[in-house]
Every structure is written in structure tokens, then in C-alpha cells.
Amino acid sequence: MTSRERVTASLERREVDRVPMDLTCGGPNSAMDALLAHFGVTSDTELREMLDIDIRYVYPRYLGPAAQPPLGLEMGAESEFGGTEYMKCDFEGSGKIAGTYADDMGSRPFRHFTSVKEIENYRWPRAEWFDFSSLKEECSRYRDHAVICGGWAPLISRVFELFGMEKALLHFHDRPDLIRATI
């Protein structure tokens, strides 16, 4: 069974030869560098092949404004596209850097928003900021694998990133209009 067949069968709740696997780790102090070193490979692609990972990712090329500043940049850390930050912090006293979604750290652009109008006026990314022309060719490289365009960004996660976890959870109850406007 190819990776593509395995993932498709699994999604259709048909029998598979083994559980499909994905590997998602990245960002500041992720496990990726340690995995590459441990297995003696130099790239994500090599690691996926070695571990028989079923999923491959493709992305459109970003062509938009070079410096789309996020609203509410508060701590000066590098920002993820869309205006939120994974704040860099030490974890478990290791001296290494990791990311966090802690509400009181980093930029949460919607943290102080109180109206739907503020959300509507936010500088959202536009489709024309991306070049999708290479995706067909990229997908053909992974003919036998399941392909995902994009990465980790489920709607609920983006809501938490934009408002902060606590505020978003409160808004789900008290201000669902703000949540609906965001998604």
C-alpha cells in the first residue's frame, strides 16, 4: 500500500496495512534538529523517507508585502505570518529556546479588540500575495504520498493565537460574534 493509498483508506475508514504517520515539528527549539542529528540525515525530506512518513507538505510562494507588520507587536520577537508570535522562552531550565502560546507573552493582535469592526479592519492576508503556480509540480513530486497544502493552522488554533487562549475561551461564551467574525 502506498502512503497515499494508506492515508486515503484511513480517512475513508477502510482497512490499512498500518496506521498512517505524519511528522510535524518545527519552530524555535523543535525536535527537528535533534531528530536530524540522531538519524544522521540533513533534511526534513531525508528524515521523512527514513521514517516512512506518509504525509508531504507543499506551500505556495509568498509574494506579498515584505514587511507586513503585525498589529500589537509587544515583545519584539519574530512574528508568524498573520500577526501572532511564538514567544521564545527557556523551557525546563535547559537553556534552549522554545515557543509558547502563553497569553501574557508575545503579540496577540486581537487581545484588546471589543468590536467586530476592529476585526474587519484588521490587515488580513490576501490570496494575491501568494503564487500558487508551482503547487501542481510540487504535488507531482509526491505522487505516492498524501499531500497537504499548508501546515498547522486549524481555525480554532488561529483564534487562540489572535486573542490569546483565555480571552478566546471567554469570547466563545460571552462574545461569539467576535469569534464568528474571526473565522
**pLDDT tens-digit series, residues 131-171:** 889 899 989 999 999 998 866 566 787 888 888 888 999 99
Higher pLDDT, 89 or 113: 113
Long-range contact set of residues 67-71: C-beta below 8 Å, sequence gap at least 24: 68/123, 68/125, 70/107, 70/109, 71/107, 71/109, 71/122, 71/123
- Contact indicator for 167, 161 with CB cutoff of 8 Å: no
Mean pLDDT of the chain: 79
What pLDDT score does 53 carry? Answer: 96
Q: What is the value of pTM for the model shown?
A: 0.66
Query: Residue 78: pLDDT band by 50, 70, 90 thresholds?
Result: very low
Query: Residue 116: pLDDT band by 50, 70, 90 thresholds?
Result: very high
What pLDDT score does 172 carry? Answer: 95
**CB-side neighbour CA atoms (13 Å) of 175:** 18
Report the DSSP pairing between strands 55-58 and 146-149: parallel
Report the alpha-carbon distance of residue 176 to residue 62 in Å, rounded. 32
